[in-house]
Amino acid sequence: MLFRRLFFDKISSIWMVASLATILLMPLIIGIGLYIKAMPLFENTSVLKLVFSSEWAPSKGAFGFWPFISGSLYVTAISFVFAAPVCLFAGIYLTQYASKRLVAIMHPVIDILAGLPSVIYGVWGVLIVVPFISDYAAPFFNTSSSGYSIFAGGLVLAIMCVPYMLNMLIEVFKTVPAGMKEASLSLGATFWESIKHVVIKKSFAGIISAYGLGIAKAFGETIAVMMVVGNQMLNSPNPFHAGYPLPALIANNYGEMMSIPMYDSALMFAALILLVIILAINLVFRYFIYKTQKQ
Amino acid sequence: MNRRKIIEEYIFKALSAFAAYSLIAILCFIILIIFIKGFGALNLDMIIKTPKGGFYYGGEGGVLNAIVGSLYIAFGATLIAVIIGMPAALYINVHLIKQKRTQNTIRYFLDALWGIPSIVYGAFGFTAMLLLGMNSSLIAGILTVALLVTPIMVRTFDEVLSTIPKGLHEASLALGSTKSEMAYRVLFKQGFSGFITAILLSFGRGIGDAASVLFTAGYTDLIPVNLDEPAATLPLAIFFQLGSPIPEVRERAFASATILTVIILIISLVARYLAKRYSKSNIK
């Protein structure tokens, strides 16, 4: 009986360690897998040239990823401009001002927003954002646009990132000790002044981290962006023109990638770029968050 | 001076309130638009029939193939995530309970894993699939989505397990249980609400994710019977139908989107209900 229990304990422990190790090694395995697949690409051109060259002609074997990387950066930047202030203020309201009842309502709202599949955001973008841009926003700025544009991608992305960033911001604001705010209030500061000078100051590193992680999330988002961004290479800085972010490039061309030599390597390299950038951002800012939580 | 302070206070409070309430408005706006557009095109045929001839030109049929395919993939991926992720989460909270540093390092890496976008998993799944000589199939889709949802599974379950008071560990060890008995009989039960949440969260992600199955699961009008057959998925059905120039087909994309939204909402509601219900009997 005892033997059986100990035997089971042993087996179960081994299984637990093995599965945990597998999960933790996953990014490494993925990275290596993508790297091996992308290797033929490095034989002719250096990595730097691949990343910063703008010449994209797969049939001629020229793979310059800069148009796609810059497209991604552009969309991400626009989404950040919209999402960041909303998240900051909503986070402040929910942790400092809001009644318990509102918080209880907001939790499922944030969860559902975070849980909606990206394809749903894409459909919504096609139905609302795209016509809005072609009919109102673009004429307002004296340009014409089909609506399928960088700007549309940024807007849809912004909404998708809000629940993600907001959840982290709420966690960050919660770690500020109430005593500190009370001390500031008792010195005669108004509520908003205490928030501005104590809460925001104290959680500054956390706010930056939450923003960083939101940016990483936006950078890798695929389907929703791809549905509204137009998928043509960026040729002007006008945000009402179509763009072509990196994830959309991968998703759009998988069908043809076997017919052109090196194309599959190029797409796997694109995936590798995404993985490296996003993992790096995540590791850096998560580290900040852990630091602040420890304090 | 004081007047300025009061005005500032007032403005920023209003601004914050506006930001918070606007989220509710946005959620309602999105769901309302999807439902208004979708329910017009939704009929019973959409849910209970597979595509018939000429479906993609506005002919008869429905998206049952995609609904079933998505459910299969989400179910399979969640099952794998449970087999790998549940023991991993228990290990962090049982065997490593004394090593706070290791625990935190592992959580740190798991959180970073959570951030990897699904298109990267999709690309990797595709590479691995070619390497193993497989075709796009149900099993390839399941495995790829499993990669995606396992970190979510572990972290969500772990989040609840980590709140369990240490006294419970000590009590069960004092009664002579082995570590794995403590894990499965005490901690698993105590953290059951977290387990349910983790399962439903993974399931929801599995149903809704498009980028990871785009390369790996393929697309077909038939309902897959074997693991090596390709499978249609609901997000891809929406995506492909929306890309069609024919208005009837686009209408169907909206109907499919409504189906997907309803499924996700149901999962979310069930998760909340069950989590509440099962955490009631916990030892505080």
CA distance B251 to A282: 39
Confidence band of B235 (pLDDT split at 50, 70, 90): very high
Binary contact (B242, A126; C-beta < 8 A): yes
**Which of B5, B113, B264 is nearest residue A26 as measured by Cβ atoms?**
B113
B25: pLDDT strictly greater than 90: yes
Question: For residue B284, what pLDDT is reported?
Answer: 63
pLDDT averaged over every residue in chain A: 87
Mutate to test the interface with A, among B124, B131, B181 (most CBs of A within 10 A): B124
What percent of chain B lies above the pLDDT cut of 90?
38
Confidence band of B227 (pLDDT split at 50, 70, 90): confident
B82: pLDDT strictly greater than 90: yes
A182: pLDDT strictly greater than 90: no
Question: For residue B240, what pLDDT is reported?
Answer: 87
What average pLDDT does this structure show over A238-259? 82
Question: For residue B64, what pLDDT is reported?
Answer: 87
Question: Among residues A250, A263, A254, A276, which one has the least CA distance to residue A31?
Answer: A276
The radius of gyration of chain B's CA atoms, rounded to the nearest angstrom, is: 23
Binary contact (A34, B178; C-beta < 8 A): no
B18 shares contact with chain A (CB less than 8 Å): yes
Domain residues for A97? Answer: 51-294
Q: In the CATH scheme, what is the code of domain B48-279?
A: 1.10.3720.10
A171: pLDDT strictly greater than 80: yes
Query: Can you read off the two tokens belonging to residue B144?
Result: 């790829």
Mutate to test the interface with B, among A3, A19, A258, A279 (most CBs of B within 10 A): A19
Query: What single-letter DSSP state applies at residue B56?
Result: G
CA distance A292 to B8: 29
Binary contact (B117, A108; C-beta < 8 A): no
Question: For residue B224, what pLDDT is reported?
Answer: 84
Binary contact (B151, A23; C-beta < 8 A): yes
Question: Among residues A159, A7, A171, A184, which one has the least CA distance to residue A91?
Answer: A171
**Which of B106, B116, B209 is nearest residue A24 as measured by Cβ atoms?**
B106
Rounded to a whole number of angstroms, the distance from the CA of B178 to the nearest CA of chain A is 7
A145 in a structural domain = yes
Which residues in A92-174 belong to E strands, given as ranges?
none
Rounded to a whole number of angstroms, the distance from the CA of A109 to the nearest CA of chain B is 6
A177 in a structural domain = yes
Between residues B105 and A59, which one has the greater pLDDT?
B105
CA distance A208 to A265: 35
CA distance A158 to B205: 20
What average pLDDT does this structure show over A229-255? 83
Rounded to a whole number of angstroms, the distance from the CA of B72 to the nearest CA of chain A is 17
What Å distances lie between residue A152 and A87, A145, A218, A232, CA to CA?
19, 11, 13, 14
Rounded to a whole number of angstroms, the distance from the CA of B122 to the nearest CA of chain A is 9
Binary contact (B119, A251; C-beta < 8 A): yes
**Which of A22, A122, A216 is nearest residue B115 as measured by Cβ atoms?**
A216
| Residue A219's CATH number | 1.10.3720.10
What percent of chain A lies above the pLDDT cut of 90?
37
Binary contact (A86, B22; C-beta < 8 A): yes
Mutate to test the interface with A, among B30, B186, B270 (most CBs of A within 10 A): B30
pLDDT in tens, A62-105: 788 888 998 899 999 999 999 999 999 999 999 988 889 999 99
SS3 B206: helix
B90 shares contact with chain A (CB less than 8 Å): yes
Question: For residue A286, what pLDDT is reported?
Answer: 87
Binary contact (A33, B128; C-beta < 8 A): yes
Mutate to test the interface with B, among A155, A169, A223 (most CBs of B within 10 A): A223
What average pLDDT does this structure show over B124-137? 86
Confidence band of B166 (pLDDT split at 50, 70, 90): confident
pTM of the model: 0.91
B17: pLDDT strictly greater than 70: yes
Question: For residue A287, what pLDDT is reported?
Answer: 86
Segment (H or E) for B21:
helix B2-41
B149 shares contact with chain A (CB less than 8 Å): no
State the total domains in chain A: 1
pLDDT averaged over every residue in chain B: 88
> Can you give the residue ranges of every domain in chain B?
2-41, 48-279
Residues of B in contact with A109 (CB under 8 A): 23-24, 27
**Which of A93, A94, A112 is nearest residue B268 as measured by Cβ atoms?**
A112
CA distance A233 to A241: 10
B282: pLDDT strictly greater than 80: no
Binary contact (A127, B207; C-beta < 8 A): no
Mutate to test the interface with B, among A6, A37, A92, A119 (most CBs of B within 10 A): A119
CA distance A190 to A30: 52
Query: Can you read off the two tokens belonging to residue B239?
Result: 């995506």
Instruction: Find the closest chain B residue to A38 by CA distance.
Output: B127
Question: For residue A295, what pLDDT is reported?
Answer: 59
Instruction: Give the list of residues 6+ apart from residue A213 with CB closer than 8 angstroms, or none.
Output: A164, A165, A168, A281, A282, A285, A286, B115
Between residues B249 and A158, which one has the greater pLDDT?
A158
- Specify whether the CB–CB gap between B172 and B182 falls below 8 A: yes
Binary contact (A108, B179; C-beta < 8 A): no
**Which of A9, A124, A271 is nearest residue B120 as measured by Cβ atoms?**
A271
- Specify whether the CB–CB gap between A117 and B207 falls below 8 A: yes
